[in-house]
Homo-oligomer: A and B are copies of this chain.
Amino acid sequence: MCRWFESNCRYTCHKVISWFIKQGMNNSSFASFRLNEPIILPKALEGFSFGTAPARSVSVSEEIASIFPHLESQYVQSILRKGGERFPPLKIGVVLSGGQAPGGHNVLAGIWDAIKQSGGALFGFKGGFKGILTDSFRVLEDAEINSVRNTGGFDLLGSGRTKIDSDEEIKRAVATLQKHELDGLVVVGGDDSNTNAAYLAESLQGRGPVIIGVPKTIDGDLRSCEIPISFGFDTACKVYSEIIGNIAKDVISSKKYYHFIRLMGRKASHITLECALQTHPNLALISEEIAANNSTLQDVVKEMADFVEERYSQNLRHGVILVPEGVIDHMSDMRKLIAELNELFAPNHPLASFIQEKTLPSERLDLVLANISKDARGCLALFPRPLAETLVYERDPYGNPPLSRIETERVFAHFIDKELRARAMKSGKTVPFAFQTTFLGYEGRSAYPSYFDAHYCYALGKLSVIMVVKKLTGYMAAIPNVYEPVDQWRPVAVPLVSMLSMERRLGKNKAVIAKQPVDLFGPLFAQFAEQRDRWRLDDHYQHPGPIQYWGPKPLVESPCISISK
């Protein structure tokens, strides 16, 4: 055996083997099959030379324009394929920000595969924006990228919820980017992170590294005309729907209990709507509809108790109910209660310090109950006492009652049980009501990306590189026609300023990318509204099964219902 082999290949073999051992992988593990699965690029993103053409003008309010004078991006830009040269050797930084979403690693792969041939370099900042502020990064090359292709999670770089908000933070971030002479920074994040990206781009005054946003969030609430969906939503909803379908199968087999399932989505109910369309539960609450109807918690509980009674009159004691985690915050009496509590606890309220001196939660609750309106009191009194005590005793980081501590699915089951018992006391007729509860959150956000998300992310990665070359700073990478087959996708760049609007946050007006709620006048909600009456008393459960990565094309390649045209 030649020396060269001994010293080089053995070392490589050793490295490869020990990497496999570290990953705990063997040749037949799921991960190893996924790692080697090729990803195709849309035809429009093949090659290395591209032009841009204005596709649509966007209007920006005067206030936004005055905050972002340097981001004069009045057009959504189409990306057009041209000749076939190479990219210049690019140095690109990338950051994964906020909660994980399936496919993040494929964004990195898309960037790396685009720049590696021309001698580019990829800096992965560690732990979200904190990595930029502290100049903590990892150079990503073949070894790193090849170990994460088509896998879920953000574990290659980690993530974080640090923001780059203040002038001081922006200065430090810019210093890091300039120190490494980066040509561009790709910010993979949700509404907050992309708001940060817009401010960062503005502060660079259109010069220096190009700042690109990539739309990420399983919640599906980062959208615009050209961005039908953020990445991760497809996979997460498919994982949740798999589980909901299994639970529905259990419910229809045993027929003896109601299963309440809480889904993610504090502000918007996109996940619940998608999962409802995939699985056909008997009931699915949509926060936006409840807010639009000005429904109170008591209204909704009564309606749900009616629903249980109605099913029981048809001899049905079982059901599947989907509840978005944020639904309670959208009820008019809860909003009133929260507003009154916030007022009562505001530093300038005469009772505030007196109430806050009460160190026993029960004392504090009694005092609060005595000092709020009748409506608010009625609402607070609905909750089991320990939970009501928590609501008036603790504050979340934004100074609000800790609503995220409410396990919505359990609380609803409890409310309905209480309501049915109260009705039985009056009428003498008992309606049996047994229930189970499940919360689906962590199961979906770090799954292996679906065919759709794997390809979508890879394409967004390559697109980001093209946008760096074209110096489209302050733009978001986007593919408006994702409902078509991958090879026909047509990429565009969307000005971040076109997505900004003014919002009051912590007492100040701020330009932010607003979370997009479910459109109650859109075709998706219409599809749901048209079908749900049929699902209410008759069981039409669907069982979508686990995500398939091989096998029948429609199973593998079809995106979720929200994305289909």
Q: Are A554 and B28 in contact (CB under 8 A)?
A: yes
Min CB distance, A406 to chain B, in Å? 16
Taking A249-B153, A253-B158, A443-B246 as contacts, is the C-beta distance between A548 and B545 under 8 angstroms?
Answer: no
Say yes or no for A29: interface residue by CB 8 A criterion: yes
Question: Which chain B residue lies CB-closest to A279?
Answer: B24
State which residues 25-50 of A face B: CB under 8 Å. Answer: 28-31, 33-34
Q: Are B542 and A29 in contact (CB under 8 A)?
A: yes
Q: Are A442 and B436 in contact (CB under 8 A)?
A: yes
Say yes or no for A181: interface residue by CB 8 A criterion: no
Say yes or no for A552: interface residue by CB 8 A criterion: yes
Say yes or no for A550: interface residue by CB 8 A criterion: yes
Say yes or no for A254: interface residue by CB 8 A criterion: yes
- Identify which of B158, B280, B550 contacts A550 (C-beta below 8 A): B550
Residues of B within 8 A of A399 (CB): none
Say yes or no for A324: interface residue by CB 8 A criterion: no
Taking A158-B253, A280-B24, A551-B551 as contacts, is the C-beta distance between A543 and B151 under 8 angstroms?
Answer: yes
Q: Are B155 and A249 in contact (CB under 8 A)?
A: yes
Say yes or no for A417: interface residue by CB 8 A criterion: no
1/0 per residue, CB under 8 A from B, across A521-561: the answer is: 00000000000000000001111111111111011001000
Taking A34-B545, A254-B100, A448-B545 as contacts, is the C-beta distance between A246 and B551 under 8 angstroms?
Answer: no
Residues of B within 8 A of A158 (CB): 253-255
Say yes or no for A332: interface residue by CB 8 A criterion: no
Question: Which chain B residue lies CB-closest to A445?
Answer: B250
Q: Are A555 and B28 in contact (CB under 8 A)?
A: yes
Q: Are A545 and B30 in contact (CB under 8 A)?
A: yes
Residues of B within 8 A of A444 (CB): 246
Question: Which chain B residue lies CB-closest to A538?
Answer: B22
Question: Which chain B residue lies CB-closest to A542?
Answer: B24
Min CB distance, A213 to chain B, in Å? 20
Residues of B within 8 A of A259 (CB): 442
Say yes or no for A516: interface residue by CB 8 A criterion: no
Q: Are B547 and A550 in contact (CB under 8 A)?
A: no
Bound: A243/B246 CA distance, A? 13
Q: Are B442 and A250 in contact (CB under 8 A)?
A: yes
- Identify which of B249, B280, B386 contacts A446 (C-beta below 8 A): B249
Bound: A442/B318 CA distance, A? 14
Q: Are B548 and A250 in contact (CB under 8 A)?
A: no
Of A33, A100, A253, A259, chain B has the most CB atoms within 10 Å of the CB of A253
Q: Are A546 and B546 in contact (CB under 8 A)?
A: yes
- Further pairs besides A33-B551, A151-B249: 17, Cβ < 8 Å: A22-B540, A24-B280, A28-B552, A29-B544, A100-B254, A151-B543, A154-B253, A155-B253, A158-B254, A242-B546, A246-B443, A246-B445, A246-B446, A247-B442, A436-B442, A548-B549, A550-B552
Those 5 A-B pairs whose CB atoms lie nearest each other, nearest first:
A550-B551, A546-B546, A30-B545, A28-B554, A249-B446
A residues apposed to B, CB below 8 Å = 22, 24, 28-31, 33-34, 100, 151-155, 158-159, 239, 242-243, 246-247, 249-250, 252-255, 259, 280, 386, 436, 438-439, 442-448, 540-552, 554-555, 558
29 contacting pairs across A/B (C-beta < 8 A): A24-B280, A24-B541, A28-B552, A28-B554, A29-B542, A30-B543, A30-B544, A30-B555, A31-B545, A34-B545, A152-B246, A153-B250, A154-B254, A158-B255, A159-B254, A239-B546, A243-B243, A246-B443, A246-B447, A249-B446, A249-B447, A259-B442, A436-B442, A438-B439, A438-B442, A448-B545, A548-B548, A550-B551, A550-B552
